[in-house]
């Protein structure tokens, strides 16, 4: 079993590795394309710069990008009294600065944390979560998210969301574009259609690599570790156990989540829903809830 400090170091190291890999990947990708299409090497330089900027912003503004694509609003102390005060109390107990709090207007209960370090952290919950859980259960969930903050899981997970997730979404999008009405567009845009097709095919071929990267980031142990540290904070495992049960039994699907952000959430937002498309089996990002709940009951 690794301790928290090793976990923090490992997360920081992996964040850097993924950022570097992304730049290398995009540059290599551009090189392949330029060779295939007969363009000069200038394209590689442009891609390199763009990937660099992208990588940099995933680190610096990852939290803001994620909040924007999830459609979150800042939490309000009066309206979200329990959420606000619970976060206040638990960050005091964890001895970290209080994270910024956001709320997503969605009736499916779920939550995630993002940011780059404990000084720049965000905890986000859905209105469904705030409405359906009582204060004790909410304490469990917030404590779980604060553990992600303390362990620097948030940095790694944000970088993965933006960089790896973006590639996944793009691949998905290109492939879907090919399937529906690809013919029409080919006629009109000719060359572009070919490029899109090529991009899609290459990305599809690269999918095992992408899957590997996601697996690197979201190991099952990470969730168990966050559950365990959450209990260290609240000293009340039943609270989190009850919360996980409630969230996982809830049948509503979180509309704010997509494939890039799914792994951030405390419970897989897609639940029973089957993925369609080529990447479906790669998104088993969460350990089974039953196992997590069982582990929590055993802590009593």
Residue 34 as a binder of other proteins (CB under 8 A): the answer is no
3 state DSSP class of 161: helix
Judged by beta carbon, residue 95 or residue 281, the one nearer other proteins is 95
* Structure token pair of residue 222: 């990470």
Residue 93 as a binder of other proteins (CB under 8 A): the answer is yes
Pick the closest to residue 267 from 122, 83, 137 (CA basis).
137
Residue 270 as a binder of other proteins (CB under 8 A): the answer is no
Pick the closest to residue 169 from 62, 258, 267, 263 (CA basis).
258
Contact status, residue 129 vs residue 141, Cβ threshold 8 Å: yes
Contact status, residue 70 vs residue 256, Cβ threshold 8 Å: yes
| Residues in 132-171 that interact with other proteins by CB under 8 A | 134-136
| Residues in 169-188 that interact with other proteins by CB under 8 A | none
Residue 223 counted as an annotated binding residue:
yes
First-to-last alpha carbon distance for the chain, in angstroms, is: 20
Residue 236 as a binder of other proteins (CB under 8 A): the answer is yes
Q: Among residues 56, 60, 81, 297, which is the contact residue for other proteins, using CB under 8 A? A: 81
- In this chain, which stretch among 24-32, 79-87, 96-104, 262-270 interacts with other proteins, using CB under 8 A? 79-87
Q: How far apart are CA 297 and CA 263, in angstroms?
A: 24
Residue 90 as a binder of other proteins (CB under 8 A): the answer is yes
Marked catalytic residue, from 6, 145, 189, 255: 145
Sheet with 120-126, edge to edge strand ranges: 72-74, 100-104, 120-126, 111-117
* Structure token pair of residue 210: 């992408």
Annotated binding-site members for Zn(2+): 144, 148, 223
Active site (catalytic) residues = 145
Contact footprint for other proteins (CB under 8 A): 81-82, 85-86, 88-90, 92-93, 95, 134-136, 236, 238-239
């Amino acid at each position: 079993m690794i301790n928290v400090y090793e976990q923090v170091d490992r997360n920081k190291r992996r964040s850097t590795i993924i950022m570097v890999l992304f730049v290398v990947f995009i540059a290599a990708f551009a090189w392949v394309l330029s060779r295939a299409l007969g363009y000069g090497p200038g394209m590689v330089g442009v891609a390199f710069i763009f990937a660099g900027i992208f990588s940099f912003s995933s680190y610096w503004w990852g939290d803001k990008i994620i909040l924007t694509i999830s459609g979150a609003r800042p939490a309000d102390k009066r309206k979200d009294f329990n959420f606000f005060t619970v976060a206040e109390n638990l960050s005091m107990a964890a001895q970290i600065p209080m994270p910024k709090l956001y709320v997503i207007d969605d009736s499916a209960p779920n939550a995630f944390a993002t940011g780059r370090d404990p000084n720049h952290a965000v905890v986000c919950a859905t209105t469904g979560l705030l409405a359906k859980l009582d204060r004790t259960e909410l304490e469990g969930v917030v404590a779980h998210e604060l553990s992600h903050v303390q362990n620097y899981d948030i940095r790694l997970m944000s970088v993965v969301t933006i960089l790896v997730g973006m590639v996944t979404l793009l691949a998905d999008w290109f492939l879907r574009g090919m399937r529906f009405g690809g013919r029409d567009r080919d006629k009109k845009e000719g060359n572009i259609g070919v490029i899109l097709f090529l991009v899609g095919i290459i990305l599809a071929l690269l999918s095992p690599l992408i899957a590997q990267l996601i697996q690197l980031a979201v190991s099952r142990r990470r969730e168990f570790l966050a559950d365990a540290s959450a209990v260290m904070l609240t000293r009340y495992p039943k609270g989190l156990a009850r919360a996980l049960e409630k969230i996982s039994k809830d049948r509503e699907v979180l509309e704010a989540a997509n494939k890039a952000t799914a792994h951030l959430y405390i419970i897989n937002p897609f639940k029973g829903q089957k993925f369609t498309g080529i990447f479906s089996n790669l998104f088993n990002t969460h350990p089974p809830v039953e196992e997590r709940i069982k582990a929590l009951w055993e802590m009593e």
